[in-house]
Structure 1
Amino acid sequence: MFTAEMARQWIKESASKIESNKEQLTDLDQVLGDGDHGLNMTRGFNAAVEQLNGETDEPGKVLKGAGTSLLSKIGGASGPLYGTLFMKAGNQLEGTEVQLSDLSSGLRVGVDAMKKRGKAEREEKTMIDLLEPVIELMEEKGNELTPDHLIDKAKEALEHVKEYEAKKGRAAYYKEKSKGKQDAGAQSSYYVIESLAKVLDKDGEA
């Protein structure tokens, strides 16, 4: 089961994790990007937390509200992408009875929408390279998904991101030189998935 309270905790935990690692995200983005990813992500997720309330029992509505805040507050290329992920996923989750398999299906729709909006595919050194392998695993495991499954796959995907040559955004200017360096968006996506795993673990899914 994935409840509205779990959705709220996911957003709060993501905000906390991203703020704690703001300097790391900024440092990564200074190498291949504009250097503002840490600040932008912190601002966006803090805004998403501020708009949370306990008025709904529907996890989909929680995620849609968070997505709206992320879309308007993060800025740059990441804002529309993260906003799209949560808004599209939230749109797929109807009612209060949401299973982990439903969450997987919702996140699949969200990531597919991100790919379309960002005109991105796998192995282009973006957050897609972190999120899509994780969601494929979620689809495979369904309601048998555990926090350890999420963490292990996210760590594996994050290591692979380093190996790719950047094909999108400012990082693409570095071409071959981008290999061996981490993408800030993939790193922040790792923290979002890590936060989801923590919430599932607290709820006794492990």
Structure 2
Amino acid sequence: MGGVNAVAAWLGDCAREFARRADELDELDRLLGDADHGTNMRRGTEAAGAIDLSETRTAAEALRKVGMALVSTVGGASGPLFGTFFLRTGAAWPSQVTTAGVARAMRAGLDAVVIRGRAREGDKTMVDALAPAVRALESAAAAGQDLSEALPAAAAAAERGRDATRDMVARRGRAALKADTSVGVIDPGAVSVAIIVTTAATHVR
């Protein structure tokens, strides 16, 4: 995603995907938490998609607006965590979009999520999809790949991380209260990360 128009197009796709999969995410969250993750993410991405970006000058500013919308409209722990990711990623977003610059921005977002959520890989959270995606971007940058190659690779890494949560024991948040029955269920936050990165990969500039 290079410019404001790309962010706006991604927001539309992202909101539609969360609307389509809200029930699926709620069902996963019913098994692990409050049964409202999909509803909350649908509401948050709808609000983000409704942002007027006509006077927004940079993708960095647009991403920060997305973060603020998610913080203010997504309930539970997801709002602050996903909102923090976009706020910090937006703050670090490069003026000249390169794979290395996007990798640094997403690393900043990941680090902020880890600090705020006090989660690490293996805890069965959104971090388990986000961290592999960031590492894939960093590897692509080191290999000199452009974003048209790097972001789809990051999306594939996020999807693998998402799927790996099925065999993990939940250790953070409300899901940890159901640790004994959490194995066999994919973490809905990890699913949401995969949706976000996969839809973003279709709007690379």
Does the TM-score normalized on the shorter chain lie above 0.5? Answer: yes
For 1:47-104, what per-residue CA distance to the aligned partner results, in whole angstroms no more than 9, with x for missing partners?
1111132223311001001100000000110000011000001111254x32232121
Q: Who is 2:114 aligned against?
A: 115
| TM-score, normalisation: structure 1 | 0.91
Which deviates more, 121-130 or 54-63? 54-63
Distance 1:33 1:15, change over 3 A: same
Q: Who is 1:163 aligned against?
A: 167
Which deviates more, 99-108 or 110-119? 99-108
Alignment of 1:59-74 (within 5 A): 59-74=59-74
- Is there any run of 5+ residues in structure 1 with no aligned partner, and where? none
Counterpart-to-counterpart distance in 2, 1:133 and 1:94: 21
- Cα RMSD (Å) of the superposition? 1.5
Distance 1:99 1:52, change over 3 A: farther
Q: Who is 2:133 aligned against?
A: 134
Percent identity among equivalent residues? 32
Number of residue-to-residue matches in the alignment: 200
- Match of 1:11, SS state, is helix
Counterpart-to-counterpart distance in 2, 1:169 and 1:15: 25
Letter in 2 for 1:103: V
Counterpart-to-counterpart distance in 2, 1:24 and 1:52: 29
Letter in 2 for 1:60: A
Is contact 1:64–1:86 with CA below 8 Å preserved after alignment?
yes
Is contact 2:99–2:140 with CA below 8 Å preserved after alignment?
no
Q: Who is 2:199 aligned against?
A: 195
Counterpart-to-counterpart distance in 2, 1:83 and 1:196: 16
Q: Who is 2:99 aligned against?
A: 100
Which deviates more, 126-135 or 13-22? 13-22
Q: Who is 1:149 aligned against?
A: 153
Q: 1:185 aligns with which of 176, 184, 189?
A: 189
Is contact 1:104–1:138 with CA below 8 Å preserved after alignment?
yes
- Is there any run of 5+ residues in structure 2 with no aligned partner, and where? none
- Match of 2:116, SS state, is helix
| TM-score, normalisation: structure 2 | 0.91
